[in-house]
Amino acid sequence: MSDKDCLFCKIIAGEIPAEKIYENDYVLAFKDIQPASPHHYLIIPKIHKASLQEFVDGDQQVLGELMLAAPKIAQEQGFAEAGYRTVVNTGKDGGQTVFHLHMHLLAGREHQWPPG
Ligand code: 5GP
Ligand code: ZN
């Protein structure tokens, strides 16, 4: 369920500090340490899976909770109306650097498309 060498598992376990902003039985959200936008949060599942590629049929609940956390946080943080960007980087070509699935939630400025 958790990986002792995983940075985000250590945040879930409270072994590494993070500014938590949302939590339920399935997911945790906290501020990104190097924000790319005025609001930049990471939403992660409480189970360890290295990337989206490791999810299978049967994981609908945790993936649904992960996605649903974004509009809840947007409402709580006051940027639901202005809008926001959600991003999941997967593997090397996706630009993933931390190998515990996370969804970026970015807001507070206009975001460009396509991303770099
Ligand atoms: P990725 O490139 O894998 O999609 O995104 C990883 C994100 O994790 C980056 O935006 C990076 O700033 C963030 N990050 C890396 N280490 C830490 C940390 O120790 N604490 C927090 N809160 N965020 C981190
Ligand atoms: Zn992990």
What was the pLDDT predicted at 73? 98
Half-sphere exposure of 20 (CA within 13 A, CB side): 13
pLDDT in tens, 25-75: 999 999 999 999 999 999 999 999 999 999 999 999 999 999 999 999 999
Q: Which ligand is the nearest neighbour of the Cα of 12?
A: 2
Q: Looking at 48, 102, 104, 111, which residue is catalytic?
A: 102
Please give the number of the atom of ligand 1 that sits closest to the Cα of 36: 10
Residue where the block lists tokens 């049929």: 57
Q: What is the pLDDT of residue 116?
A: 86
pTM of the model: 0.98
**What is the CA angle 77-81-87, rounded to 5?**
70
- Ordered alpha helix ranges (H), 3-110: 7-13, 60-77, 91-94
pLDDT score for 1: 77
CB–CB of 73/20 below 8 Å?
Answer: no
Please report which ligand is nearest the Cα atom of 47. 2
82 DSSP 8-state letter: T
- Residue nearest ligand 1's atom 21 by CA: 33
Residue 53: predicted pLDDT: 98
What are φ and ψ of residue 2, in 5° steps? -130, 160
